[in-house]
Amino acid sequence: MNCATFRKQFSVFQDNRLSSDQMNDMALHLQSCADCRKFTEASEAVWELLTILPKPKLPPFFYTRLKARMEADHQAKPLSWIQRAVLSAMVTAVLTLGIILGSMAGRFSRAAKSENDLFYGLPLEEINVLSESAYASDYFEFFSQEGGAE
Ligand SMILES: [Zn+2]
């Protein structure tokens, strides 16, 4: 066994997870090699230090809150300033288009009303005072005209 192999297998050796032959080879190398003994001592000292160090106390529900935050971040990443600029430009464009279409529709319906296209010469306010039969005869007249035009 050489030093490179020893150090590569070192942590598995310390966990006693090598085969018995490999464990023996490692132990033999450790006895014969001063460098690897120093390496072993140093690494054991580090592990000891790690066990001595106090564990930081976490606030209550740390992992629950961390997990929730990670999931929220995953679902909705904060927008970059470019994305926000593009988004606000798109919203402005949609709103502007809506206003333009709305005013066009308003102008169209006012035009239709004034030209008596929709209500056969009857302003909207007067529909309520019409008798049912008068309304029905207007309807009939309208459809018979349409049918005759074809
Ligand atoms: Zn060695």
Centroid of ligand 1 to alpha carbon of 38 (angstroms): 9
Centroid of ligand 1 to alpha carbon of 84 (angstroms): 60
Give the per-residue pLDDT at 82. Answer: 82
Average pLDDT estimate for 109-122 = 55
pTM: 0.37
Centroid of ligand 1 to alpha carbon of 73 (angstroms): 48
Q: Output the DSSP codes for 3-69.
A: HHHHHHSHHHHHTT-S-HHHHHHHHHHHHH-HHHHHHHHHHHHHHHHHHHSPPPPPPTTHHHHHHHH
Query: Looking at the predicted structure, is the pLDDT value of residue 5 above 50?
Result: yes
Q: Which residues surround ligand 1, an ion (CB under 5 A)?
A: 3, 33, 35-36
- % of the chain with per-residue pLDDT over 90: 27
Centroid of ligand 1 to alpha carbon of 96 (angstroms): 77
